[in-house]
Amino acid sequence: MSSRSILKNTAVVAVLTALSRVLGLVREMLQSRLVGADVEQSAFAVAFAIPNMARRMFGEGALTAAFVPVFKGELEADASLVKARRLARAVMTMSLLMLAAGVILAWCLIGGAFWYDSDGTLLAGKWGLTLYYVRILIPYMLFICAAAFGMGVLNSFGKFAAAALMPSILNVVWIVSLVGLFFATGHGTDAAFTVHRRVVFICVAILGAGFLQMAFMLRAMAKKGISPWPSFKGWRDANVRLVWRNMAIGCAGAGAVQINYMLDQVLALKASDWAAGAIGYADRLMELPLGIVGTAFGTVLLPTFSGFFARADVDGARSAFVSSVRNMLLVVLPAAAALVVLAPELTRLVYHGGRFDDAATVRVARAVACYSVGLAFFCLQKTLTPWFQAQKDLKTPLKVAVRMVFLNAALNIAAVFGLPVEWRHVGLAGSTVLCSGISCVWLALIARRRNGSLGWRRLFRPIALMLGASAAMAAALLVLRHVLAAVTAWGTMGEILSMAAYVAGGMVVYFAVMGVLGRDVLRGLLRDFRNRGGRA
């Protein structure tokens, strides 16, 4: 796949992912006003993290990483797709059966683990609420993992649009449910419709959205000739066994990461009743640039690298890596600088109002600023990890991930028990940033030893120019903050106008500096769009 093809596919994924992330912000704006950032939101955040943990660990994580390189190899070698279809249906059937069994088991275990008072009523504390929401949400794990498998199949065919559109289904259903809830409860003021009941209503809506996501992806997969109906043939094929062996390795690594993620959530609940909710709201703001850029490149690069390595074209993979990292950082670095400077203004504009008060705004803004420092690391990690996965090596990311689990856990425990209450959630965010940065350096060094230079020297000058332009933009935004202080004081409309001025002014300064000092970097981006060499 040429640099132009990578950028074209990445642009498709980025646009559709941007749609999903914008819808996600809209839903969070509504939810913050209806639910707030107190104990109910924290309990919901932890409960929703459990099916999402399964999605990241099994669906989009280990299964996709193990399946896509093998499936891509079958597509490259078998024009008739007979073996590829057999492989896909066998893996899908086995995966869904295991997930269904897991959902039933989890439902039974959680059902017997509720905390009840002496009169038989459910305890209203954060742990009782969390368990209650988990019981409702756990079937979402099956739906979203099935959808993630369909995503891997379509990405292997080079079809990225449907997979990138799929998350928007959840956000649309979620928003519709919140809007209905907003009006049904008298604009959120109906005392009889408690915050707890609102959250339960949202959980049920999420289940319906998950079923629609699964149906949408399986139908799209069927259009490519891969039937979603169960198949019990081919379970003993060598490639099926290879997928499961690699998936077991990947699950160990992803499981370690996700267990650590759940530990973060539990520690956040321990830190304070509001910490998990605050981190969740901050994470949603970070998902906009991370999803548009980092996730888009990561989605495209796994099948791209897999194709290059299937043809033993390491130079082609290296060229794709360099151009992708350069073009990714061209957007990510200024976005990170802007988020650090404008975290208070952005948080207030998006979330403030209703049950989301000034204290919640300050707490979330602190976490946003901390996460923003690591935005480039988060995106770079999504570029480096597919480099190993495409070579059917899931052990290396596993080893790095496990080591980071222990470091992250130690740092998180220190943050929760060593920092003031109002800063503990910032310590949790900072631990994530530090561990992501170390992981990137470690993976890059291992890749260099295995495959030779990845072309980092070609990136030093562009990155230095981008950092300089981002610093100039950040300084300009600080000046603008003082200039626009009177406009911001007008209220919501003033905040909107000020944010528009920040975005426009920041872009002008950044690209003006890049145009003067880094014109060759911008030309390289345009050259990638024009380049038609290579093949998928």
Question: How does pLDDT run across 469-484, given as a tens digit for each residue?
Answer: 999 999 999 999 999 9
Tell me, yes or no, whether 328 and 239 share the same domain: no
154 domain-assigned: yes
pLDDT at 173: 95
Tell me, yes or no, whether 421 and 481 share the same domain: yes
DSSP secondary structure letters along 77-131: H-TT-HHHHHHHHHHHHHHHHHHHHHHHHHHHHHHT---B-TTSPBP-SHHHHHH
169-173, 248-252, 314-318, 373-377: which range is least confident on average?
248-252
Decide: helix, strand or coil at residue 234: coil
Tell me, yes or no, whether 139 and 232 share the same domain: yes
Cβ–Cβ < 8 Å for 109, 78 = no
The most confident of 45-54, 235-244, 264-273, 364-373, by mean pLDDT? 364-373
**Sole residue written with tokens 């499961």:** 244
Tell me, yes or no, whether 5 and 140 share the same domain: no
Categorize the per-residue pLDDT at 507 as very low, low, confident or very high, splitting at 50, 70 and 90: very high
The one-letter amino acid code at 348 reads R
Tell me, yes or no, whether 238 and 303 share the same domain: no
More confident: 504 or 135: 504
| Other Cβ atoms closer than 10 A to 481 | 16
232: left (phi over 0), alpha (psi -120 to 50) or beta: alpha
Mean pLDDT of 182-200: 68
Categorize the per-residue pLDDT at 175 as very low, low, confident or very high, splitting at 50, 70 and 90: very high
Residue 124 scores a pLDDT above 60: no
Nearest-angstrom CA–CA distance, 265 and 18: 26
Decide: helix, strand or coil at residue 356: strand
Q: How many domains, in total, are found in the chain?
A: 2
Domain encompassing residue 192: 39-273
Residue 529 scores a pLDDT above 60: no
Residue 206 scores a pLDDT above 90: yes
Name the CA radius of gyration of the chain, rounded.
Answer: 23
Question: Which residues, at least 6 apart from 502, have a Cβ–Cβ distance to it below 8 Å?
Answer: 338, 342, 345, 477, 480, 484
Categorize the per-residue pLDDT at 437 as very low, low, confident or very high, splitting at 50, 70 and 90: very high
Nearest-angstrom CA–CA distance, 199 and 142: 21
Tell me, yes or no, whether 484 and 342 share the same domain: yes
507 domain-assigned: yes
Tell me, yes or no, whether 225 and 170 share the same domain: yes
pLDDT at 535: 39
Mean pLDDT of 237-241: 79
pLDDT at 409: 86
Percentage of the chain exceeding pLDDT 90: 23
More confident: 85 or 12: 85
311 domain-assigned: yes
Q: How far is CA 55 from the centre of its chain?
A: 11
282 domain-assigned: no
pLDDT at 119: 47
Q: pLDDT digits over 383-407, tens only?
A: 898 898 888 787 888 788 888 888 9
pLDDT at 533: 39
List 122's β-bridge partners, or say none.
116
Tell me, yes or no, whether 461 and 324 share the same domain: yes
pLDDT at 530: 54
Mean pLDDT of 144-155: 83
The one-letter amino acid code at 75 reads L
Residue 367 scores a pLDDT above 90: yes
281 domain-assigned: no
Tell me, yes or no, whether 329 and 460 share the same domain: yes
Tell me, yes or no, whether 400 and 258 share the same domain: no
Mean pLDDT of 82-104: 84
Categorize the per-residue pLDDT at 255 as very low, low, confident or very high, splitting at 50, 70 and 90: low
Residue 317 scores a pLDDT above 60: yes
Nearest-angstrom CA–CA distance, 312 and 534: 14
Q: Considering only CA atoms, which of 134, 171, 368, 113 is closest in space to residue 269? A: 134
284 domain-assigned: no
392: left (phi over 0), alpha (psi -120 to 50) or beta: left
171 domain-assigned: yes
DSSP class of residue 313 equals -
More confident: 52 or 525: 52
Nearest-angstrom CA–CA distance, 446 and 378: 18
**Considering the chain, what is the average pLDDT of its residues?**
81
Angle between helix 275-289 and 3-34 (nearest 10):
150
Q: Considering only CA atoms, which of 188, 50, 194 is closest in space to residue 122? A: 194
Tokens of 62: 């280990």
Tell me, yes or no, whether 83 and 132 share the same domain: yes
Q: How far is CA 264 from CA 261, 268, 289, 369, 525, in A?
A: 5, 6, 22, 18, 38
Tell me, yes or no, whether 172 and 300 share the same domain: no
Residue 520 C-beta-side C-alpha neighbours within 13 Å:
6
Cβ–Cβ < 8 Å for 155, 225 = no
Nearest-angstrom CA–CA distance, 201 and 115: 21
145-154, 167-176, 195-204, 473-482: which range is least confident on average?
145-154
More confident: 34 or 189: 34
Residue 284 scores a pLDDT above 90: no
pLDDT at 345: 93
Q: Considering only CA atoms, which of 88, 92, 75, 77 is closest in space to residue 226? A: 88
- In this structure, is the dihedral angle defined by the CA atoms of residues 23, 29, 32 and 37, taken in order, positive or negative? positive
Cβ–Cβ < 8 Å for 364, 281 = yes
Domain end call among 273, 298, 332 = 273
49 domain-assigned: yes
Residue 126 scores a pLDDT above 80: no
87-96, 116-125, 171-180: which range is least confident on average?
116-125
Decide: helix, strand or coil at residue 353: strand
Cβ–Cβ < 8 Å for 282, 371 = yes
